[in-house]
Structure 1
Amino acid sequence: MLPQEEALDILIEFLHVHGYTKVKGISLDTIRILAAIVLQENVCVYNNKIYKQMLGGAMGSSFTLTLANIFMWKWQKEFVRRQDISGEFYGRYIDDIFMTWNKSENELRKLLDAANSWHPNIKLEYKISKSLPFLDVLLTNSNGILLTSVYHKPAAEPYVVPFISDHPRHVFINVIQTSLARAARYSSTLEAFNHEQRYIQLTLLYNG
């Protein structure tokens, strides 16, 4: 979870680095004060006692998510620097990271283990393989060629909105269009696209 004071410091650093002295006429000092109120003035009641949140931010708060992204921006600087030097790829979506590596696996494990010491509140759980999912994309290294396809979690059930449900008709059209568009965008080969197309057809048949 986010250390509150450190996160607020990083927020102001982020704004400075990107050339802000004010945001929509509001000074950075005022922004820090307002951000502190949002982050630190969260309480809950349990067994007739009032508890104040001392670490992290409120769950579901859009500001907490934004601040977490900015916090990760600070943390990942060393990672990005090392990847840039070696010409490798580094990408992150919130707390999911995907990166390439062309040195030994032992060196990679050393880097990842070292990264786990950069901040006490950030610990990486990593997987090293020639085929890995990142969000809903499956990426595969096939003899040096990067292949992509749609990834479905093993526990995912093939359910969509049933055709007999009382939804506006455009909802059903959108389900099909979105699924096919994702298949077209994510499939790097015709074989992968055809496989996903069959999956979509079976899912629709299953849901009536």
Structure 2
Amino acid sequence: MIHRGDLSSQAMKDTTAALNRLNDITMEDNMLLVTADVEALYTSIRHTDGLTAVKFFLETSNLPRDLSELLLKLLNFILTHNFFTFKDCFFLQTQGTAMGAACAPSYANLFLGAWERKIFLTDPIQGIERVHNWMRYIDDVLFIWQGTLEELHVFMKDLNRNTENIKLTYKAGSEMEFLDIKMKTDKEGKIKTEVFRKQTATNSLLHAESAHIPSTIKGIPVGQFLRLKRICSDELSFEQQAADLKIRFRERGYSRKNIERAYRRAKFTPRKELLCPNEEDKKLKTAREGNATRLITTYNKNWKKLTSTISKYWPILHTDKNISQLITKQPKITARRAQNLKDRLVHSHYIPEKNNPFGTKGPKWGCFPCKNCKACENIQRGDTFWDQKYKKEYKITQYISCKTSGIIYHATCPCGKIYIGLTTREFKLRVGEHIRDIENAKSEEHIESLKTLPRHFKLCHQCNPKGLVFKGIDKLFETSKRLWGRSTYQRWRSLPGERFLNEIEDLQEEVEVR
């Protein structure tokens, strides 16, 4: 029978918890295995019902009242601020929770826990006494029905007649599937189990050549064979499914030696140990790893060199009395998964404003001279440039320094005239050329042979570049710089109100792509 005093025992933590329950069950002739699934659970929970269920369990816990109230407010905010897009339109979800929300599984669990409490304790429905060993993992339910199939149909019909918007689909028989367990009843009434795989399942095992640390690749076969041993209730089913698993590992590039080592370990490990792990050992391991000095970084091809270098020079830190008290004997180096194709190709609808490539303390978009080179004396810092006649400000939407190559730049003469130029080389090289051309114009007798800036400064400023200010205003793409650069140059040259030094020049002569 169901344990009516403690319904928390009916919520399954994982497959192992379900297996331990199934091992103690003996089926009678008039009993059926029943599996049920709650239809669209996450999207069916009304906000008021879900919050009421969470509030009930928070009140029965030992949490302080103010913390419980804060959790309810935060949960209410999450539920009432979930937006999604469909055909380029934004919608607000008014019922249920998003499946991707971190709190969604716990929220759904508590909601169904409150519903179970109602149907078993506070307001039991007719036929509930025929239900034995009710087990649930989020929205998947397994129980044993003592009665006929027709009586089960009536019971499930009554169970679906509720005010919580819960609808269950179900199957019943002597052979059922629950989670990754396939169950069948033998002649003695014992439930035999083996691993369940859908007919449409593909070989999705991690490939042996994927970008993961070697210990992960070696550990996957061990984990999979131990899982087989844990779920398979007899040796024959273990051997049959192990043979199939070996083939699938070979298809994914794993070595025979690695596969065979994992198989032998699982074969000679008692199933009882896998079903009842030593909790003390787990606690000791958790405490030991929790106190370790941990380095977490993204895995890359130089991982072996990185770990060996850290291990080699780590003892140096222990020579310092103060540091040695803060670190452990050896660090725990953990690899974070590197980006895969999905990470690179699939992106969120939310695109943050790319305002700062150097973090919160670095420079924003604009022109930023380094102040360490001679050209920077004539390069102006700023994120905008000004149209004097029309009093209009233009924002620079790229990060440009004196070392940036491939840019459109803006030069302002002391007399107020404007020069727009283009270069594919480093900005500081082009600025330096302009300054030298102006200074060298003193000795040039033929003014017509001078370029725009030197000619202007020879006629108007006695070849003195003082007061000439440059600012990068746009960046070119890496490809097709010439074609794209000329079109962008023309766009900036067409700004209204500017008085251009080079407006009388032929565009072909003036756009200097170097």
- Note the aligned Cα RMSD (angstroms): 2.4
Q: Which residue of 2 aligns with 1:9?
A: 52
| 8 Å Cα contact 1:7/1:67 also seen in 2 | yes
Alignment of 1:168-207 (within 5 A): 168-207=213-252
Q: Which residue of 2 aligns with 1:32?
A: 72
- Matched residue pairs, number? 205
Identity %: 22
Alignment of 1:1-208 (within 5 A): 1-16=44-59, 18-20=60-62, 22=64, 26=67, 28-44=68-84, 50-78=90-118, 80=120, 85-86=129-130, 88-119=132-163, 121-143=165-187, 144-208=189-253
Q: Secondary structure at the match of 1:148?
A: strand
Q: Name the CA shift for 1:46/1:206 in 2 (closer, same or farther; >3 Å).
A: closer
How far has the Cα of 1:52 moved from its partner?
A: 2.3
Code of the residue aligned with 1:89 in structure 2: it is N
How far has the Cα of 1:94 moved from its partner?
A: 0.7
Q: Name the CA shift for 1:104/1:168 in 2 (closer, same or farther; >3 Å).
A: same
TM superposition score normalised by structure 1: 0.86
| 8 Å Cα contact 1:80/1:90 also seen in 2 | no
How far has the Cα of 1:111 moved from its partner?
A: 1.3
Q: Secondary structure at the match of 1:128?
A: strand
Q: Which has the larger radius of gyration?
A: 2
Code of the residue aligned with 2:208 in structure 1: it is F
In structure 1, the gaps of 5 or more residues are: none
Q: Name the CA shift for 1:38/1:195 in 2 (closer, same or farther; >3 Å).
A: same
Q: Name the CA shift for 1:47/1:194 in 2 (closer, same or farther; >3 Å).
A: closer
| 8 Å Cα contact 2:131/2:143 also seen in 1 | no
How far has the Cα of 1:139 moved from its partner?
A: 1.0
Distance 1:148 1:77 in 2: 29
How far has the Cα of 1:77 moved from its partner?
A: 2.5
Q: Name the CA shift for 1:29/1:158 in 2 (closer, same or farther; >3 Å).
A: closer
Code of the residue aligned with 1:13 in structure 2: it is F
Q: Name the CA shift for 1:202/1:46 in 2 (closer, same or farther; >3 Å).
A: closer
Distance 1:167 1:137 in 2: 29
In structure 2, the gaps of 5 or more residues are: 1-43, 254-514
TM superposition score normalised by structure 2: 0.37
- 1:149-189 CA-to-partner distances (Å, cap 9, x unmatched) read 01111111124223344432222222211111111110111
How far has the Cα of 1:49 moved from its partner?
A: 5.8
| 8 Å Cα contact 1:39/1:64 also seen in 2 | no
Q: Name the CA shift for 1:103/1:121 in 2 (closer, same or farther; >3 Å).
A: same
Distance 2:202 2:87 in 1: 39
Q: Name the CA shift for 1:118/1:168 in 2 (closer, same or farther; >3 Å).
A: same
